[in-house]
Structure 1
């Protein structure tokens, strides 16, 4: 019985911690601080890998981060494409079916192929 109570207490702590991380990350995303949001969510994602709210927030933060590189006209292509590609691939680690990430990975890889350059890993 004590073991069950301890397990429930640990689960509640992880759940509340995850929810706090999600709330904090959403606040950061409103300020377009996507990298900071990802950093806040990573421990929660490791602690509660099946938590849907954490997973969804992580996907949103990673997509925002990737888009902030992909669509930043101030960055030269050799800076923005590798960073965006890495972030879109991370999105797919959390959501294998994310069509936007798939499409953008394909687009960036196509750009590298068309230039005859190796695709960044």
Structure 2
């Protein structure tokens, strides 16, 4: 059985979570198989060709950017086009509702009003920034790529301020920075609030 090299394994690892949430991008199994097939030299028309991790990152990025989500923008609206009301209850329930509805700015506004030194608030902030950055990378088709990628980077950097060992944020930052470098563009700076 073919085993991808360690570089490819590291590239694929951050996207395995997509398999568990099909409504947010369940085609990752197909993409992983595509990477493995492309990485196997015997399937390529040019035997000397090497499918590098950077090439895979660029391919994945382009694939994600061109894939349109049929339910974009409709997930957080009721049938009449209005936003659903945030349920009463504890802050954790309200923030989870807003994140599930892709209303990240509202969730972050609620969390910023709380004591930022509280470990529970820090975890919710970290997770909200992580989800927001991921959403910007893969699902925010209504925002132009030149705006959303710097925003995603800023959110992933904020995640690393809250949790320096967060592997998903590290991998996403590395992927976006690799893409900017492959296009010979300056990597955007900044950290989200």
Equivalence map 1:61-100=2 (5 Å): 61-72=128-139, 74=141, 75-100=143-168
2:120 corresponds in structure 1 to 53
CA RMSD of aligned residues (A): 1.9
Structure 2: tracts of 5 or more residues without a match? 1-89
Give distance in 2, aligned partners of 1:42 and 1:111: 32
- Count of residues in Structure 1 that have an aligned counterpart in Structure 2: 100
Moved >6 Å (runs of 4+) = none
Per-residue CA deviations over 1:16-55 (Å, capped at 9, x if unaligned) read: xxxx4444322312322112111111232xx241x22111
The range that moved more, 32-41 or 20-29, is 20-29
1:27 is paired with a residue of what secondary structure?
A: helix
The structure having more radius of gyration, on CA atoms, is: 2
Give distance in 2, aligned partners of 1:48 and 1:91: 14
Asked if 1 retains the 8 angstrom alpha-carbon contact of 2:95 and 2:107, the reply is yes
1:110 corresponds in structure 2 to 178
Report which of the two has the higher share of helix: 1
Give distance in 1, aligned partners of 2:135 and 2:100: 13
Structure 1: tracts of 5 or more residues without a match? 1-19
- What is the TM-score of this pair, normalised by structure 2? 0.47
1:36 aligns with 2:103: no
Give distance in 1, aligned partners of 2:121 and 2:134: 20
Per-residue CA deviations over 1:81-116 (Å, capped at 9, x if unaligned) read: 111111111111111111000000011111111111
